[in-house]
């Protein structure tokens, strides 16, 4: 409510001392706060985008390394039967008396093996008497064994197995004692 004095001053045209009842902030201060909030949102967005990009770079780097490790997997897998044929040829030529032919085939086999080894191919070592592991070995058949100590063990290796890096590209085929 206005007092009588205020009413008289209004009617007389005298300037009044008007104080607002609510304290409003100056307009510049509100704009500064809005800009600060917007800046904070943009900074957060930038940091998230930067972190996402860093994760992308790391992931693609790992995928690229994995791709290079196994890039020749199909070619190497296709060459494994040739490697098996070399092994059979060396075994058969070792029975003959022609020493020169045997040495020549052995040299070619050694060079071929070394080339594949340099590309990351490793033979999976399997010996008669090793325990059978379904994760590594492929059981072709089971045969009854005369000795109990060979039960559940590898009795014969039919085909060698190979790894390319950490990945098994061909499981060794084995006969298991029953």
Query: pLDDT tens for residues 4-16?
Result: 555 454 555 555 5
Residues 6+ apart with CB under 8 A from 91: none
CA 101 from centroid of its chain's CA atoms: 45
Maximum separation of any 2 CA atoms in the chain, in Å: 138
Q: Give the DSSP H/E element, type plus range, for residue 107.
A: helix 99-118
Report the pLDDT value the prediction gives residue 1, as an integer from 0 to 100.
Answer: 45
User: Does pLDDT of 2 surpass 50?
Assistant: no
* Topology (CATH) of 121-178: Nucleotide Exchange Factor Grpe; Chain A, domain 2 (2.30.22)
Mean local confidence (pLDDT), 85-103: 85
Q: What CA–CA distance (Å, rounded) separates 169 from 75?
A: 11
Q: What is the mean pLDDT of residues 96-120?
A: 88
| Mean pLDDT value across residues 137-158 | 90
Mean pLDDT over 123-133 rounds to 92
CB atoms closer than 10 angstroms to residue 143: 11
Choice between 25 and 158, residue whose per-residue pLDDT is larger: 158
Residue 66 is predicted with a pLDDT of: 79
Domain ranges for the chain: 49-119, 121-178
- Which residue is listed with tokens 């085909």? 159
Give me the mean pLDDT over the 27-45 stretch. Answer: 89
Higher pLDDT, 70 or 141: 141
The share of the chain scoring above pLDDT 70, in percent, equals 83
């Amino acid at each position: 409510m206005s007092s009588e004095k205020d009413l008289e001053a209004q009617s007389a045209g005298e300037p009044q001392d008007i104080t607002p009842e609510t304290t409003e902030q100056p307009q510049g201060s509100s704009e500064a706060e809005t800009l600060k909030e917007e800046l904070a949102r943009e900074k957060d967005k930038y940091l998230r985008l930067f972190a996402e990009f860093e994760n992308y770079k790391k992931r693609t780097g790992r995928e690229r390394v994995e791709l290079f490790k196994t890039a020749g997997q199909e070619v190497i897998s296709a060459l494994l039967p040739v490697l098996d044929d070399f092994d059979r040829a060396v075994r058969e030529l070792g029975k003959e008396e022609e020493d020169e032919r045997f040495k020549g085939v052995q040299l070619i086999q050694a060079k071929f093996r070394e080339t594949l080894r340099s590309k990351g191919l490793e033979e999976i070592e399997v010996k008669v008497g090793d325990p059978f592991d379904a994760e590594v070995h492929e059981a072709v058949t089971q045969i009854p064994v005369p000795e109990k100590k060979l039960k559940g063990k590898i009795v014969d290796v039919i085909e060698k197995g190979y790894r390319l890096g950490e990945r098994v590209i061909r499981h060794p085929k084995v006969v298991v004692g029953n």
